Amino acid sequence: MLFDEKGRTNTYIVFYAEIHGEIAGLAGASIESGRVWEIGVDVKERYRKGGLASVLVNHLMHDILERDILPIYCAASSNAASQATAFRAGLKPCWISTYKNILDGSSGYDELARRLYLK
C-alpha cells in the first residue's frame, strides 16, 4: 500500500491476520480501474512459509469477485515465492512480463520465451 505526501492511497480494501494481538499479515486491493482491482500482500517474516499469505489473498480475491470486479495479482518473474502464493490462493497466470530479465538460458522463463513468435 502506497501513500502520497498527503497520506492518500488507492488501496480500497484490506484483510488482515492477527496472531496473539499482533498483525501478522495484510492483503489489500488497490483500484486500478472501476472493474479491475490489484491485490498485494505482505506477511511479517516470522509468520512466513505457513500459508498465511495465500489464505489472505484467497479471502480477498473472493470478496472482490463477489463485487463483480476482476482481481489481478502481479508478481515479478523472479519472485517465485509471490507467484506460488498467488497460485495457492487460486489465481492462475494470464500473462508474464519479462521486463529487466535477461533470457540467456539462466531464466526459468527461457523455455516459454522460445515458444513465443512475434510476427
Chunked mean pLDDT (size 10), the chain, 119 residues: 64 90 93 90 93 96 95 84 92 72 66 62
Domain ranges of the chain: 11-115
State the pLDDT at residue 78.
75
Backbone angles phi, psi at 116, to 5 degrees: -80, 140
pLDDT at 10: 72
pTM of the model: 0.75
Contact call for residues 39 and 71 (beta carbons, < 8 A): yes
Say what the pLDDT of residue 94 is.
77
Position 79 scores a pLDDT of 82
Q: Give the pLDDT confidence score for residue 104 in this predicted structure.
A: 72
CA 53 to each of CA 22, 94, 113: distance values in angstroms, whole numbers, following the listed order:
15, 20, 29
Look at residue 68 in the predicted model and tell me its pLDDT: 95
pLDDT of residue 76: 77
CA–CA distance from 18 to each of 8, 58, 84 (Å)? 24, 16, 22
Cα 39 from Cα 31, distance rounded (Å) = 9
Give the CATH number of domain 11-115.
Answer: 3.40.630.30
pLDDT on residue 112:
67
Give the model's pLDDT for residue 87: 92
Residue with cell 488497490: 30
- pLDDT at site 32: 87
